[in-house]
Amino acid sequence: MSFNPLEEKGTPIEKQYRDWRNLNPIPYDKTTVHPYTRARIILMNGIETEAAIFLHQFNRHCDDMEVKKVIAESRRIEQQQQKAVNYQIPADETLLEVTIGYEQVAVDLTAWLAQNEKDENVKQALDFALLEDFDHLYRYADLMDLECGIKAERVVQEYTEITPGRPTAAHHRHPQDEIRKHINKDDADIQTKLNILTIVAGEQQTMNFYMNNGNRHGSNLGRGLYMEIGQVEEQHVSHYESLNDPNMSWYEMLLMHEYTECWLYYSMYKEEVDEVLKKLWEQHLYMEIGHLNHAVKLLKEKEGKEAKDMLPKALPSIFKFQSNKEYIRKILEEQIHLTTQDQGYVSVKDLDENSRFRTFNKKVNNIWVPSNEVIKDYIFRNGMDYRFELEGENPIKELQDRTTVIETLAIK
Ligand SMILES: [Fe+2]
Ligand SMILES: [Fe+2]
Ligand SMILES: [Fe+2]
Ligand SMILES: [Fe+2]
């Protein structure tokens, strides 16, 4: 059944404020939560964080008191929603367990978006970074078993494999090579716009999470791993945010942010298996429709533009957290050797010693590469690395040997 948020009334803003008790829910039970319920919570926390930060930026760039007041209200609500969502995570879920959840989100979110993306340039951007978050999952999983004796398969379950992707050591590219070509706001498909806003918020959340929590890890090796991967998430945010058309007005951006929230909450509501969360997603969906109505009005009043000219008559098909094992294996086989150069992609094999990629990569990987050290330590202790391979061996021949770290793959 089609659903058009533009035709729904939604919850009026004045009815959206909640009291503290309402915002402080009983968290889920980490031993029984569905991995994709956890994933939905992590993603929607990232979406709400982006909503709040975007509205702060809007406030800082807006000199219209009437508008500032309207967005102050929705911003406060976004903050409440963020708390109601993020506080679903229990305190007994450790930093590393949550981190495994974050990388599972990155993997299965990116893989779904890539398979539902028609713009070649955007699809390539998604496939490219997919292989990197997939490798992060493996590095953190080995760290968690090495230091805490907890297997990451308990977190991801049978939905997501854990095995090396494009090795993290090869992710470190020169910042100038992280900027992609952008879409055109006037002719890009709505799905493309939703995909970009969703992945930017997701990656930004991961970046923020590692920025703030990496130093909470107890071992030097683990702190190093968070630091190293945190810098890759910075790259991912730069990579994805540059896909968006920078020529959109603040009011157009506001409309697209609220519309993305509607699409995602509708998707979460449709897909949720936990009854309590299902109600939360539905409640937030109707709040977002309220925000969308305000965005539609502002766009009309301030720029004379009609939201219905920018948006389809019904929401596109819903987003789903689902298993993408086959797809990820295929992309790994095809693209493991890729790196970026200016706005495009090249095989590392085609780059000479003095290339910008190799020069930068050598500089940061100079004497200590935590992502490799974690695996080396694990193998030293256990004889072979930790993996959770469900569809057979790693599709890349060089990555099938579990007793040695291939430090140079995708670098040399
Ligand atoms: Fe929101
Ligand atoms: Fe990642
Ligand atoms: Fe990422
Ligand atoms: Fe919103």
pLDDT digits (tens, 9 = 90+) for 157-184: 999 999 999 999 999 999 999 999 999 9
* Residue 404 one-letter amino acid: T
Alpha-carbon span 272 to 278, nearest angstrom: 5
Of all residues in the chain, what percent carry a pLDDT higher than 70?
99
Is the pLDDT score of 378 beyond 90?
yes
- pLDDT value of residue 340: 98
Return mean pLDDT, the chain: 97
Alpha-carbon span 143 to 387, nearest angstrom: 12
Considering every ligand atom shown, identify the ligand nearest to the alpha carbon of residue 47 and give its number.
1
At residue 411 the predicted structure's pLDDT band, cuts being 50, 70 and 90, is: low
Considering every ligand atom shown, identify the ligand nearest to the alpha carbon of residue 203 and give its number.
3
Of all residues in the chain, what percent carry a pLDDT higher than 90?
98
pLDDT digits (tens, 9 = 90+) for 268-286: 999 999 999 999 999 999 9
Q: How far is the CA of 45 from the centre of ligand 4 (A)?
A: 12
Q: How far is the CA of 98 from the centre of ligand 2 (A)?
A: 13
Considering every ligand atom shown, identify the ligand nearest to the alpha carbon of residue 168 and give its number.
2
Residues bordering ligand 1, an ion, CB closer than 5 Å: 48, 51, 78, 81, 261
Q: How far is the CA of 132 from the centre of ligand 3 (A)?
A: 7
Q: How far is the CA of 372 from the centre of ligand 2 (A)?
A: 15
Q: How far is the CA of 356 from the centre of ligand 3 (A)?
A: 22
Considering every ligand atom shown, identify the ligand nearest to the alpha carbon of residue 130 and give its number.
3
- Mean pLDDT of the region 186-207: 98
Distance of CA 249 to the CA centre of its chain: 24
Is the pLDDT score of 1 beyond 80?
no
Q: How far is the CA of 179 from the centre of ligand 1 (A)?
A: 28
Burial annotation 253-266 (CB, 10 A radius, 16+ → b, else e): bbbbbbbbbbbbbb
pTM above 0.85, yes or no: yes
Contact 335, 326 (CB under 8 A): no
Alpha-carbon span 222 to 173, nearest angstrom: 22
Considering every ligand atom shown, identify the ligand nearest to the alpha carbon of residue 265 and give its number.
1
At residue 331 the predicted structure's pLDDT band, cuts being 50, 70 and 90, is: very high
